[in-house]
Structure 1
Amino acid sequence: MDDTVRRFPSQLPALRAAAAAAGFTMSSEDRTGSLLATLAATRPGGRLLELGTGAGEGTAWLLSGMDPAATLVTVELDDAVQRIAREQFADDGRVTFVTGDGGAWLDTYDGPAFDLVFADTWPGKFTHLERALDLVAPGGMYLIDDLLPQPNWPQGHQESADRLAAGLTARQDFATTTLDWASGLLLAVRRAG
Structure 2
Amino acid sequence: MDASAPVLLPPRLSLILRPVPRRRRFTIATVARFGGLTTAQALQFAEGYVAEDLVLQTARTLAREVGLDPVAPSTGAALRLLAAASSARAVVEIGTGTGVSGVWLLRGMRADGVLTTIDLENEHQRIARRIFVEAGFASSRTRIITGRALDVLPRLADGVYDMIFVDADPAEYGACVDAALRLLRPGGVLALNGALAGGRIADPAARDLETVTIREVIKAVREADEWIPALLPAGEGLLAAVKRG
TM range (shorter): 0.7 to 0.9
Instruction: Answer yes or no: is 1:168 the counterpart of 2:221.
Output: yes
Give 1:104's aligned amino acid: D
Asked whether the 8 Å contact 1:141–1:190 carries over to 2, the reply is: yes
Instruction: Answer yes or no: is 1:186 the counterpart of 2:229.
Output: no
Gaps of 5+ in 1: none
Give 2:79's aligned amino acid: L
Alignment of 1:127-146 (within 5 A): 127-146=175-194
Alignment of 1:9-158 (within 5 A): 9-22=53-66, 24-44=67-87, 46-90=89-133, 92=138, 93-110=140-157, 113-122=160-169, 125-150=173-198, 155-158=208-211
SS of 2:173's equivalent in the other structure is coil
Asked whether the 8 Å contact 1:169–1:175 carries over to 2, the reply is: yes
In structure 2, the CA distance between the partners of 1:14 and 1:125, relative to structure 1 (3 Å rule), is same
Give 1:142's aligned amino acid: L
Q: Could you state the TM-score of these two structures normalised by the residue count of structure 1?
A: 0.87
Deviation sequence 1:79-127 (CA, Å, 0-9, x none): 1112110122245221111111111001222365211110111386243
In structure 2, the CA distance between the partners of 1:10 and 1:48, relative to structure 1 (3 Å rule), is farther
Which segments of structure 1 move beyond 4 Å, counting only runs of 4 or more? none
Distance in 1, matches of 2:216 and 2:92, equals 23
Asked whether the 8 Å contact 1:141–1:187 carries over to 2, the reply is: yes
Asked whether the 8 Å contact 1:45–1:68 carries over to 2, the reply is: no
Asked whether the 8 Å contact 2:164–2:191 carries over to 1, the reply is: yes
Query: Who wins on radius of gyration, i.e. which is larger?
Result: 2
SS of 2:87's equivalent in the other structure is coil
SS of 1:143's equivalent in the other structure is strand
Distance in 2, matches of 1:182 and 1:7, equals 14
Instruction: Indicate the percent of aligned positions where both proteins have the same amino acid.
Output: 26
**What is the root-mean-square deviation in Å for CA atoms of aligned residues?**
2.2
Gaps of 5+ in 2: 1-27, 29-44, 200-206
Give 1:108's aligned amino acid: R
Asked whether the 8 Å contact 1:140–1:189 carries over to 2, the reply is: yes
Distance in 2, matches of 1:124 and 1:138, equals 23
Displacement of 1:67 = 2.7
Distance in 2, matches of 1:45 and 1:51, equals 16
| Structure (1/2) with the larger helix percentage | 2
